[in-house]
A and B are shown apart, each in its own frame.
Chain A
């Protein structure tokens, strides 16, 4: 398994709470990604980063924000959680800023439930 870690594994919170989902990788990868996946469904890209201080929004509109202050760390923050945010969030990374043909390494995900 790849060295990419997500915490917490499961999170149940109430509406309106601020939360941060953590993602760290020890492989020195430049590129990192956040995907949202509902059970049994496809993955939707919500944020990505090419390196430190680089962040971009993905294809799926999201009310979350991300930061990339260190290469190994790519946290995702929801300022005010809502039940519509209930989903699984998957973090991934890949190597080589100029390599198109590099596979993604995924964490095991955070399953978020907003009540």
Chain B
């Protein structure tokens, strides 16, 4: 199974509501990152949280990390139609390599 698995797989909300996505992983990590992908495009980096951090904010984004549960959550507050995209978590490991392992993604649809 995947190193990172997102939950839910798909989420549909109304504009103005908050969206929460979760990511679980299996091995020890150095950092965890969240990315957004618009349909047919590459991924865009949103936020990075290090393994010794518990919470991080960037604009309308809030990320938490619980290394004891090997999980992270991404909260988007006051969502907009432009937030419609797929969101992926990616983990950077402590294995001595610089590979990033991506999760299965959450497809978010924000209805206007």
Contacts and interface: CB of A to CB of B under 8 A. Distances in A.
B88 A58 contact: no
A107 B40 CA distance: 11
What is the interface of chain B mostly: helix, strand, loop, or mixed? strand
B98 A109 contact: no
Interface in A39-68: 40-43, 45, 48, 50, 58-59
A109 B88 contact: no
A40 B40 contact: no
Nearest to A42: B104
Interface in A70-115: 90, 92, 94, 100-101, 103-109, 111
A103 B105 CA distance: 17
Given A42-B88, A43-B88, A104 B101 contact: no
Interface string A27-41: 000010101000011
Contacts of B50: 101
Contacts of A109: 40-42
A33 B97 CA distance: 12
From A45, A104, A107, A109, residue with most partner B Cβ within 10 Å: A104
Contacts of A105: 45
Interface string B96-111: 0011111111010000
B86 interface: yes
13 contacts: A6-B42, A40-B107, A42-B88, A42-B103, A42-B105, A43-B102, A90-B43, A94-B98, A100-B31, A103-B33, A104-B100, A109-B40, A111-B40
